[in-house]
Amino acid sequence: MQPLQIAICVKPVPDPKESTQLQINPTTKTLVRKGIPLVINPMDRNALEAGVKLKEANGGKVTVFSMSPPEGELTMLETLALGADEAILLSDLIFAGGDTLATARVLAAGIKAQGNWDLVICGAESFDGGTAQVGAQLAVLLGTPWITRVSHLKRVDDKHLLVTVEDEVEQRELLVQLPVVLTVESVVNQARPLSLWGIVEARNKKITVYNADTLKLDQKGIGLDGSPTQTRDLFAPDASREAEILTGDSPQQIANQLLDKIGWSRKGAAN
Amino acid sequence: MNFQFSPEQELIRKAAREFAEEVVRPRVQEMEEGQYILDDLFRLMGEVGFLGVLIPQEYGGTNLGTLGAVLVVEEISRISAALGTGLQVHCLGLLPVVKFATPACKEKYLPGLATGKYIATGSITEASGGSDPTTMSTVAVQDGDSWVINGRKCFITLNKTANTTWVTTCTKEGKRREFTTFFVDKSMEGYKEGRLENKTGMHGLDNGEVVFKNCRVPDTNVLLGVGRGLPVALTAIGRMGRMGMACAALGTIQASLEAAVKFANERVLYGRPIAYLQGVQFKIAEMAYLLETSRLLVYKAAWLTDQNMPDAELAPKVAMAKYVATQSAIKASDLAVEILGGYGVVREYNTERYLRDARMIWAAAGTGDIMQLTVAREALKLK
Ligand SMILES: Cc1cc2nc3c(=O)[nH]c(=O)nc-3n(C[C@H](O)[C@H](O)[C@H](O)COP(=O)(O)OP(=O)(O)OC[C@H]3O[C@@H](n4cnc5c(N)ncnc54)[C@H](O)[C@@H]3O)c2cc1C
């Protein structure tokens, strides 16, 4: 089979294991990530694994794209250690504060600038933003179909993939023609562990940084100013609970009080 | 001066932490209950390249140097000092093969040592006293193109799990006894494990006797040369063993600090978390600087090792790092036990395990007293 050119989109996010440490800046309404280590967004790690597996089976090249600040470079190195062949960091001060559409525009520009591609795989959603929009927007911008909730994928011939799509009610198998954008959830595979072998192999792989100029991006559509949506407020929901202790002479009486509280009609029920 | 790890070293730490959290943490309880599960964990450590961290790439290793090994052992020890010690002893066991073995011996063992087909240890200590190895009674006698070893080593880490070891023997009696170190594997008749010790800490890590009874070893398995056995052992201990035990200490201090901080922030007394009590803060501060000072010394000693500093010059640097890290681990884990109050000695809270594990480090790879002597000898410029 023809080797595939596979693009994977990866976002560095604060380590979910440390998520209790996350705080919100009360004035800018952004997440304060200082001191929390960055990791590859968990579902993106599955996306990367899916791409690397396809490449290992049929040949090709896996290129990772990430829009992130320069600190994202360590995450890029990690993707190379996990099997990607090349990483492109899309980084520019003016990308900052972009919403999902502005982000998708930068990613699409990066993927196009890099040249040929047959398949884009993204995680279905990010651990921190959690909108699940970027994959869909990217497909529109690249002019390809988009398939989400992919739980299994297999290459059948030069031009087609067989993918399984799963939701709460059904499971469907789709024969899809390349090029296509897929978004995957963690069920799609078990991502490989970060190994010292991978780290050593990453030495011979390349990380390239593209900025707005190299991508020839129209500044109107990117960053905070180019975003059609703005965060109005961001807050941790109040999860406090109140406890009330019901007392009475007999268990039955207490149970009846409880039934009254939750509005349960006792009519007809044995007393 | 640059106190930063390279991006590659950051990733090494990340790989080790991920392994420790996801693979090792769920197994700690089993090890605590005395199960010897290291075969299994060693196989998994081989899959992610930890076992070959000191092995050149042409022999199938990842060759990430002493600093690479230090980062991996420290991170594993943060979850299990027992497994961290097991890994470091494997590295100590294979280092002389990398440095001193014949090409045939390297070909035969190094690729398997990198994957876990072979697990290594080092055997020098005997009942006659680890601090004075020149009194050892294990002997090797030449017979044609092989040697026959007889004797008994004690306190050998991985005595059961390891299927290879270097072993230091006396090969010439007399006023100046001569020593030779061999690399042997369990397929050679006459090499087997003896009794296991029942230890205070590091449960699940096997440690005990190794017995040689007419064990025949080919000439090609002599390391460095006949009569040069002590330098082989000292290189293994000085360039890996002491540093590795110091890393077990670092992991223990880090784990103690994390447990103490978590508890101090959660435990409420007098209406506020005990983290606000100054007495508790002083203990936390002490633990924080015990960790930082130990790390600086250990990382520097590892860095000097990677700069190829000669054994004799390196020894006091490593001894200082091992001494400080060990004392710090004992002190920090003790403080963690105190901060947790009664819970400090309850098994499920782990801090009592850290204290028991820390105590295991003091004698291993040379006692604290021997470390002090090594440091003093340099400071006093004694020959
Ligand atoms: C967990 C663990 C793992 C080990 N793993 C291995 C292994 O894999 N392979 C191996 O070969 N050995 C191993 N050992 C053995 C270890 O190296 C010895 O325990 C150590 O060298 C001390 O020897 P000893 O126990 O015989 O004590 P001794 O040497 O008998 O010492 C007794 C006491 O005398 C003190 N002392 C000795 N000499 C002096 C001096 N000159 N000045 C002041 N005080 C002195 C010591 O510090 C100690 O307090 C291990 C030990 C432990 C605890």
pLDDT band at A267 (very low <50, low <70, confident <90, very high): low
pLDDT confidence of residue B36: 83
Report the CATH fold assignment for B231-380: Butyryl-CoA Dehydrogenase, subunit A; domain 3 (1.20.140)
The residue with greater pLDDT, A37 or B299, is B299
**Of B62, B21, B248, which Cα lies nearest the Cα of A195?**
B62
A194:B14 CB<8 A = yes
**Ligand 1 pocket at CB < 6 A:** B 89, 121-125, 129-131, 153, 155-157, 207, 360, 363-367, 369-370, 373
Residue A250 is given by DSSP the state S
Cβ neighbours of residue B31 closer than 8 Å, sequence gap 6 or more: B37, B80, B82, B83, B203, B204, B205
CA A41 to chain B, closest CA, distance in angstroms equals 15
Tell me the percentage of chain A whose pLDDT exceeds 90. 73
CATH number of this structure's domain B7-119:
1.10.540.10
Percent of chain B at pLDDT exceeding 90: 97
* Domain map (residue ranges) of chain B: 7-119, 121-227, 231-380
Q: What is the CATH number of domain B121-227?
A: 2.40.110.10
Which of B11, B47, B68 is the closest to A81 by Cβ?
A: B11
Amino acid at A119: L
Q: What percent of chain A has pLDDT over 70?
A: 98
Residue B86 DSSP one-character state: H
For B12, the closest of A73, A193, A196 (CB atoms) is A196
Residues B37/B30, Cβ–Cβ less than 8 Å = yes
CA B70 centroid distance within chain? 10
Q: How far is CA B170 from the centre of its chain?
A: 25
- Examine the pLDDT at A265 and tell me if it is beyond 80: no
A168 has a pLDDT exceeding 90: no
For B246, residues 6+ apart whose C-beta sits below 8 A from its C-beta are B294, B297, B298, B301, B318, B321, B322, B325, B326, B361
Please report where in the chains the tokens 């009696």 appear, as a residue: B173
CA A22 to chain centre: 18
**Nearest C-alpha to atom 3 of ligand 1 is from which residue?**
B364
Please indicate whether, in this complex, the C-beta atoms of A196 and B48 are within 8 angstroms of each other.
yes
Take atom 18 of ligand 1 and give the residue whose Cα is closest: B130
**Residue B14 pLDDT exceeds 70:** yes
For residue A243, what are the contacts with CB-CB under 8 A and spacing of at least 6? none
When pLDDT is averaged across residues A182-201 and rounded to a whole number, the result is 96
Interval B23-32: pLDDT, tens? 999 999 999 9
Mean of per-residue pLDDT scores for chain B: 97
CA B165 to chain centre: 14
pLDDT of residue A1: 86
Flag the least confident range among A241-245, B223-227, B322-326.
Answer: A241-245
Q: According to the model, what pLDDT value does residue A33 have?
A: 77
Asked if the model's pLDDT at residue A269 lies above 60, the reply is no
Q: Is A74 on the interface with B (CB under 8 A)?
A: yes
A200 and B12 within 8 Å at the Cβ level: the answer is: no
User: Which of B92, B119, B125 maximizes ligand 1 atoms within 8 Å of its Cβ, making it the mutation to test the pocket?
Assistant: B125
The DSSP-derived string for A15-74 is -GGGGGG-EE-TTT--EE-TTSPEEE-HHHHHHHHHHHHHHHHH-EEEEEEEE--TTHHH
CA distance B101 to chain A (A): 24
- Nearest residue in chain A measured CA to CA from B71: A196
Question: How does residue B116 score in pLDDT terms, banded at 50, 70 and 90?
Answer: very high
Contacts of B146 (CB under 8 A, 6+ apart): B216, B217, B218, B219
Type of residue found at A182: L
* Whether A193 contacts chain B with CB within 8 A: yes
pLDDT at B155 over 60: yes
Distance CA A40, CA A116 (A): 25
* Rounded average pLDDT over B111-127: 98
Q: How confident is the model at residue B143 (pLDDT cuts 50, 70, 90)?
A: very high
For chain A, give every domain's residue range.
4-221, 241-271
Q: Give the torsion through C-alpha atoms of A183, A189, A190, A194, to 10 deg.
A: -50
Is B64 in Cβ contact with A199 (below 8 Å)?
yes
Q: A268 falls in which pLDDT band (50, 70, 90)?
A: low
CA B148 / ligand 1 centre spacing (Å): 27
Token look-up 């950051």 returns B10
Using one digit for the tens of pLDDT, what is the confidence trace for A24-74? 888 877 778 778 888 999 999 999 999 999 999 989 999 999 999 999 999
Q: How far is CA B40 from CA B37, B47, B51, B355, in A?
A: 6, 11, 13, 26
Split at pLDDT 50, 70, 90, the class of A231 is confident
> One-letter amino acid identity for A218?
D
Confidence (pLDDT) at A21: 80
- The DSSP 8-state label assigned to residue B228 in this structure reads -
Tokens of A175: 């024969």
* Ligand 1 atom at minimal distance to the Cα of residue B205: 1
B37 or A241, greater pLDDT: A241
Tens digit of pLDDT for each residue in A80-102?
Answer: 999 999 999 999 999 998 999 99
- Arithmetic mean of pLDDT over chain A: 92
pLDDT over 90 at A20, yes or no = no
Retrieve residue B76's tokens: 């594993």
Asked if B15 lies within 8 A of A74 by C-beta distance, the reply is no
Ligand 1 centroid to residue B252 C-alpha, Å? 21
Question: Rounded CA gap, B197 and B82, in Å?
Answer: 14
The three-state (H, E, C) secondary structure of B160-188, written as one string: CCCCEEEEEEEEECCCCCEEEEEEEECCC
Q: Domain A4-221 adopts which CATH fold?
A: Rossmann fold (3.40.50)
The H helix count followed by the E strand count for chain B is: 12, 10
What is the pLDDT averaged over residues B105-130?
A: 97
Lowest pLDDT segment from A230-234, A242-246, B154-158: A230-234
Q: State the count of interchain CB pairs (< 8 A) between A and B.
A: 58
